[in-house]
C-alpha cells in the first residue's frame, strides 16, 4: 500500500513529506514558468516549472490540507501519516465562545466564517467586497480576547487609509479588545491586543519588527496581495504563530500565487461571491452600461514587433482624447447622485479634474491621488457619505481596495486594463447598502482599439461570471 509521512522540517517552520514517490505530487502542485521562454535571451538557466513543493519534499504548512485532499481524491486507501507535532501547527484549533456580541449583529455567514476559523485555527476566507470582512475580523478577534485577555495580534492592511478605517470600525462595533495604529505617522505602541499596521511600515528599513515573530495571532486583510516575490511574504515567513487568517474578496488568478497564500496562511475555509450576496439581498443590485467609443483615427504607433510601445501609444492616445473626455464629463454631469471615476494615471486624472471643475459648476469635484493625505481622503469619504452630487476622481490603485463609501451610486471605469482583482474590488466600492440607494450602475469605457478591445473582452467575462448584466452603447467620434 502506498504511504506518505508528513512531519516538520528541521527549522520547525515547514512541512516535509516523504513517501514512495513524491514526484507526482510535486508535478500536480506546479505551474509552467513563463519566464523560462525568455531565458535564452538573457543567458543562464531558468527552470521550466515553478513548484510549491521542493525536491526534498518541503512545503509551506498551510499546503498540507491541499496535498491531503489531492492524494485522497486519487485513492482513498492511500495512507497519509502526519505527526502529532505537525498536526498541532497545521490545525491549531481555537475555543469558540458563544457569547461574542458587538454593536452590529453578525450575519449568518459571518458567524459561520468565525466558527470555521476556530475549528481549523487558520485559513483564508474569500468574501466578496461589501460582505462585511471587517466585522467578521472583529468578531474573530473578540473571540480570542474572550479566551485570553492578554493575547497579541498583528493585523496587516494594504494601505494607510485602511489602517484608520479599520481602527475606527472596531471602535464603532464596540470591541472590548484594545487596538492601536502603527503607520509612518503614528509610533508603535506595545501592550495593546491588536496592532493595525499597513504593509509599508512593516517593510521599512527603519522599522523594528523583531517583536512580530512572537505574536499570538496574525490577520491579513486583502490577502490576495501576498505574493512570493514581495517583501511582506518574507516577513510573514518569520512569524511563529500557527494561528493566522487571511481575508479577501477574490483570490489571484495564478495557481502559484494561490498556493503561496494557502501555504503561508492556510486553506480556503469559506467562499461567498458577490452574486450570492446580491441574491440574498445583503448588498445592492448592479448593472453595467458599456460606453463603446469608436474613434475617427487610431493611435499612430501600430508596431507589431514592439507590443510595449504599441500599448503605451494606445494609453497615451486615450488619456489625451478630448472626445473621450467630453463623453465621460457628459456622463458625470447627468449623474443625480455621487459618482466615483477611476483612472490609472495621474496626468489623466489631472486633465479630467481640471475639465470637470470648469464644466460641472453644480457639482463638488475631488481628485484623490497618492500625495493626498490620509486625513484628507477620510474627510472626502465622510463628505460623500453625508452629501450628494459629488464627483470623485481617483487613482484606481488607491480606491479599488478597501475604501468604504455607502453613499455611492455610480462608478466609471475611465482607465484601462483587464485585471480581475482590480475590477471586482472596484465594483465592490459601490455595492454597500444605503437608505437612498437600491442599485449600483457601472459605466465601463470600452475603447474600440487593439488593446482596449482585448481588455474589455476580459472584463465582460468577469461580468458574466458575477451575473452582472451589461448593455453596450455605441459612441462614434
With residue 373 as reference, give the H or E element that holds it.
Answer: none
Rounded to 5 degrees, what are φ and ψ at 348? -65, -45
Note the residue count of the chain: 477
| Torsion on CA atoms 292, 400, 466, 286, rounded to nearest 10 | -70
Question: What's the pLDDT at 304?
Answer: 65
Per DSSP, the three-state class of 474 is: strand
Question: Could you write out the DSSP letters of every residue in 394-423?
Answer: EEHHHHSSS---SS--EEEE-S----HHHH
**HSE-up (13 A, CA, CB side) for residue 396:** 22
Buried b or exposed e, range 317-342, using 16+ CB within 10 angstroms: bbbebeebbebbbebbeebeebbbbb
pLDDT of residue 275: 86
Q: What is the mean pLDDT of each run of 10 residues along the chain (477 residues)?
A: 87 89 91 70 70 95 94 82 94 91 95 96 92 95 96 94 91 97 91 96 91 96 89 90 95 93 97 89 88 90 73 90 95 93 92 95 92 84 90 82 75 80 69 75 93 91 87 95
- How high is the pLDDT of residue 400? 57
How far apart CA 454 and CA 73 sit, in angstroms, is 37
3-state secondary structure of 180: strand
Rounded distance between C-alpha atoms, residue 319 and residue 316, angstroms: 5
pLDDT given at position 355? 96
- Give the separation between CA 288 and CA 439, rounded to whole angstroms: 11
* 135 close to 173: Cβ distance less than 8 angstroms: yes
Residue 447 has which C-alpha cell?
475603447
- Nearest partner of 214 among 157, 153, 147, 264, judged by Cα: 153
Look at residue 10 in the predicted model and tell me its pLDDT. Answer: 87
Q: Residue 429: what pLDDT?
A: 65
This prediction's pTM: 0.84
Backbone angles phi, psi at 10, to 5 degrees: -65, -30
SS3 label, residue 83: coil
Pairing mode, if any, of strands 30-32 and 15-19? Answer: unpaired
Amino acid at each position: 500500500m502506498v504511504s506518505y509521512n508528513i512531519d516538520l522540517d528541521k527549522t520547525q517552520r515547514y512541512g516535509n513529506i516523504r513517501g514512495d514517490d513524491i514526484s507526482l505530487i510535486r508535478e500536480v502542485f506546479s505551474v509552467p514558468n513563463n519566464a523560462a521562454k525568455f531565458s535564452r535571451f538573457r543567458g543562464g538557466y531558468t527552470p521550466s516549472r515553478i513548484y510549491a513543493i521542493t525536491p526534498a519534499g518541503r512545503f509551506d504548512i498551510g499546503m498540507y490540507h491541499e496535498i491531503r485532499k489531492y492524494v485522497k481524491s486519487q485513492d482513498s486507501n492511500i495512507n497519509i501519516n502526519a505527526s502529532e507535532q505537525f498536526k498541532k501547527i497545521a490545525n491549531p484549533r481555537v475555543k469558540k465562545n458563544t457569547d461574542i456580541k458587538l454593536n452590529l449583529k453578525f450575519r449568518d455567514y459571518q458567524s459561520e466564517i468565525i466558527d470555521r476559523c476556530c475549528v481549523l485555527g487558520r485559513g483564508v476566507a474569500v468574501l466578496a467586497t461589501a460582505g462585511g470582512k471587517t466585522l467578521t475580523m472583529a468578531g474573530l478577534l473578540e473571540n480570542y480576547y474572550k479566551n485570553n485577555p492578554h493575547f497579541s495580534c498583528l493585523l496587516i492592511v494594504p494601505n494607510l487609509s485602511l489602517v484608520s478605517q479599520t481602527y475606527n470600525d472596531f471602535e464603532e462595533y464596540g470591541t472590548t479588545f484594545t487596538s492601536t495604529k502603527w503607520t509612518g505617522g503614528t509610533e508603535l505602541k506595545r501592550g495593546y491586543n491588536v496592532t493595525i499596521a499597513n504593509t509599508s511600515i512593516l517593510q521599512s528599513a527603519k522599522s523594528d519588527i523583531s517583536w512580530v515573530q512572537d505574536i499570538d495571532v496574525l490577520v491579513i486583510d486583502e490577502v490576495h496581495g501576498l505574493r512570493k516575490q514581495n517583501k511582506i511574504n518574507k516577513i510573514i515567513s518569520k512569524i511563529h504563530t500557527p494561528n493566522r487568517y487571511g481575508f479577501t474578496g477574490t483570490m489571484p488568478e495564478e495557481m502559484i500565487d494561490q498556493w503561496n497564500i494557502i501555504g503561508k496562511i492556510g486553506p480556503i475555509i469559506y467562499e461567498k461571491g458577490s452574486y450570492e450576496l446580491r441574491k440574498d439581498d445583503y448588498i445592492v443590485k448592479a448593472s453595467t452600461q458599456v460606453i463603446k467609443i469608436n474613434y475617427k483615427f487610431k493611435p499612430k504607433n501600430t508596431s507589431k514587433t514592439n507590443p510595449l510601445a504599441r500599448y503605451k501609444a494606445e494609453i497615451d492616445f486615450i488619456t489625451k482624447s478630448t472626445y473621450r473626455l467630453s463623453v465621460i464629463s457628459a456622463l458625470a454631469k447627468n449623474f443625480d447622485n455621487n459618482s466615483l471615476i477611476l483612472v490609472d494615471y495621474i496626468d489623466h486624472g489631472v486633465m479630467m479634474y481640471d475639465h470637470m471643475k470648469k464644466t460641472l459648476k453644480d457639482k463638488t469635484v475631488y481628485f484623490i491621488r497618492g500625495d493626498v493625505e490620509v486625513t484628507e481622503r477620510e474627510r472626502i469619504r465622510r463628505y460623500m457619505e453625508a452629501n450628494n452630487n459629488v464627483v470623485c476622481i481617483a487613482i484606481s490603485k488607491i480606491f479599488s481596495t478597501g475604501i468604504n463609501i455607502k453613499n455611492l451610486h455610480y462608478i466609471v471605469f475611465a482607465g484601462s486594463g483587464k485585471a480581475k482583482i482590480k475590477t471586482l474590488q472596484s465594483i465592490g466600492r459601490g455595492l454597500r447598502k444605503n437608505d437612498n440607494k437600491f442599485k449600483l450602475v457601472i459605466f465601463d469605457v470600452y475603447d474600440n482599439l487593439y488593446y482596449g478591445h482585448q481588455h474589455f473582452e476580459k472584463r465582460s467575462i468577469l461580468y458574466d461570471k458575477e451575473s452582472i448584466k451589461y448593455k453596450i452603447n455605441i459612441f462614434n467620434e
